[in-house]
Amino acid sequence: MTEFPRPKLVVSKCLGFEACRWNGDIINDEFVARLKRLADFLPVCPEMEIGLGAPRKPLRLVDFPDGPHLLQWDTGRDCTGEMRAFCAAFLDSLPEVDGFLLKGRSPSCGPVDVKIYAGLAKGAASHRGRGMFGQAVAAGFPEAALEHEGRVRNFAIREHFLTKLFCLARFRAVKAAGTMRGLIAFHADHKLLLMAYSQQAMRRLGRLVANPDKLAPAQVLAAYQAGLQRALARNAALTSHINALMHAMGYFKNELNRREKAHFLDLLERYRAGKAPLSALLAVLGVWIARWGRDYLAGQVYFNPYPLELIEISDSGKGRDL
Ligand code: SF4
């Protein structure tokens, strides 16, 4: 059975940890509930931390010449200074974390797409940006997995978030062990996954692991970490997944009959057209691995990037990308 690391992630406290929303509510988020068993959460409510209490008057982001300010919109109280000071102190005090799962649309936590108003009067938002805490997280931790609870309802976004989260957590353990042997094993197990994200990055990281200049392990690990974070910055492109899948298929070229090959290639074309999920192709490859055995493929994280309990087939239908 595959052993998974426990990712460490900061989460907005109102997502199932405390009734701290402006109206005194708590959000019982199913995804967070499931992840709770498999990850270590560090819950935080920035608005409670600056002493606003719950329930409280709601806040909104308002444009000022020096950037958006956080105002309590029916009293006009400006919480910007307190919130900035809290964000800096809190983020500075964090241990090494793998990701952040924040509450979307919040003027404090929202990591993207938060309404920013021209003033306090009633009316439409003038544009969108990040909440104040969300902005501080994105600026301070550009390499971490960062999402909000609304976006992870989309299948492709959730898959990328979880893949990255568990991959960074696995690497954190390798870095803590500090050995070249651990790094070599990590790279070997992640080759196909890296190929699916970026073939160039996979090769670059392979050269680092080969360590031709005989650098100290700490130096190689630091360089590898930076390269890994860059490789995982964006979701894998469809064409890169297809390269990785074709590469895996090549391991069975002598065993497959004409019909089996045609079936796989047909599925691949349907995947390319957005009419079949990646998981269907991975399942076929999984059956071939079980039947003919290929140690190299059997150990690839690509086939098992995060715990099975977290695999959901539900999708928000927004921007669906199988
Ligand atoms: S969104 Fe953030 S600030 Fe608002 S209640 Fe949730 S944790 Fe607190």
- Output the pLDDT for position 317: 61
Residues 114 and 170 in one domain: no
Q: Which of 269, 276, 255, 256 is nearest to 320 (CA)?
A: 276
Q: Hey, what are 155's tokens? A: 């299948």
Report if residue 318 sits inside a domain: no
d(CA 100, CA 147) in angstroms, rounded, equals: 7
Report if residue 197 sits inside a domain: yes
Report if residue 243 sits inside a domain: yes
Report if residue 317 sits inside a domain: no
- Output the pLDDT for position 253: 93
- Express each pLDDT in 47-65 by its tens digit: 999 999 999 999 999 999 9
CA distances from 269 to 52, 148, 263, 278 (A): 54, 32, 10, 11
Does the beta carbon of 148 sit less than 6 angstroms from any atom of ligand 1?
no
d(CA 221, CA 225) in angstroms, rounded, equals: 6
Last residue of a domain, one of 153, 179, 196: 153
Residue nearest to atom 6 of ligand 1 (CA): 14
Give the number of the atom of ligand 1 that is nearest the alpha carbon of residue 21.
Answer: 5
Residues 293 and 218 in one domain: no
Residue 308 pLDDT class (50, 70, 90 cuts): confident
Report if residue 319 sits inside a domain: no
Give the number of the atom of ligand 1 that is nearest the alpha carbon of residue 108.
Answer: 3
Residues 298 and 249 in one domain: yes
Query: What mean pLDDT is predicted for residues 122-128?
Result: 81
Residues 103 and 194 in one domain: no
Does the beta carbon of 108 sit less than 6 angstroms from any atom of ligand 1?
yes
Q: What is the mean pLDDT of the chain?
A: 93
Give the number of the atom of ligand 1 that is nearest the alpha carbon of residue 43.
Answer: 7
Q: Hey, what are 31's tokens? A: 């995804």
Residues 267 and 301 in one domain: yes
CB atoms within 10 A of CB 60: 19
d(CA 54, CA 25) in angstroms, rounded, equals: 9
d(CA 14, CA 25) in angstroms, rounded, equals: 8
Residues 18 and 46 in one domain: yes
Residues 218 and 194 in one domain: yes
Residues 205 and 250 in one domain: no
Residues 87 and 144 in one domain: yes
Identity of the amino acid at 166: F
Provide the whole-model pTM: 0.93
Does the beta carbon of 103 sit less than 6 angstroms from any atom of ligand 1?
yes
**Residue listed under structure tokens 């297809």:** 242
Task: Note the Cα 217 to chain centre separation in Å.
Answer: 27
d(CA 42, CA 13) in angstroms, rounded, equals: 8
Does the beta carbon of 45 sit less than 6 angstroms from any atom of ligand 1?
yes
Q: What percentage of the chain exceeds 70 in pLDDT?
A: 97
Q: Hey, what are 262's tokens? A: 């045609």
CA distances from 129 to 66, 67, 78, 108, 125 (A): 15, 11, 18, 11, 11
Whether the per-residue pLDDT at 125 is higher than 80: the answer is no
Report if residue 248 sits inside a domain: yes
Does the beta carbon of 47 sit less than 6 angstroms from any atom of ligand 1?
yes
9, 10, 11, 13: which to mutate for ligand 1, most atoms within 8 A of CB?
13
Residues contacting residue 261 through CB under 8 Å, at least 6 positions apart: 249
Report if residue 205 sits inside a domain: yes
CB atoms within 10 A of CB 227: 18
Q: Which long-range contacts (CB under 8 A, 24 or more apart) does 289-293 make?
A: 292/252, 292/255
For helices 217-231 and 199-210, angle between their N-to-C axes, nearest 10 degrees: 180
Last residue of a domain, one of 231, 246, 263: 231
Does the beta carbon of 13 sit less than 6 angstroms from any atom of ligand 1?
yes
Please list the residues that pair with 313 across neighbouring strands: none
* Count: domains in the chain: 3
Task: Note the Cα 237 to chain centre separation in Å.
Answer: 15
Whether the per-residue pLDDT at 315 is higher than 70: the answer is no
d(CA 25, CA 119) in angstroms, rounded, equals: 27
Residues 45 and 90 in one domain: yes
168 class by beta-carbon count within 10 Å (0-12 exposed, 13-18 middle, 19+ buried) = buried
Question: What's the gap in Å between 310 CA and the centre of ligand 1?
Answer: 24
Three-class HEC string of 306-321: CCHHHCCCCCCCCCCC
For residue 66, the enclosing domain spans 8-153
Give the number of the atom of ligand 1 that is nearest the alpha carbon of residue 106.
Answer: 1
Tally the residues of the chain.
Answer: 322
Query: What mean pLDDT is predicted for residues 140-161?
Result: 94
Phi-psi region of 247 (alpha: psi -120 to 50; beta: other; left: phi over 0): alpha
Residues 215 and 243 in one domain: no
CA distances from 147 to 141, 169, 211, 268 (A): 12, 16, 34, 29
Residue 314 pLDDT class (50, 70, 90 cuts): low
Last residue of a domain, one of 184, 208, 231: 231
Task: Note the Cα 182 to chain centre separation in Å.
Answer: 23
Does the beta carbon of 106 sit less than 6 angstroms from any atom of ligand 1?
yes
Report if residue 316 sits inside a domain: no
Residues 89 and 187 in one domain: no
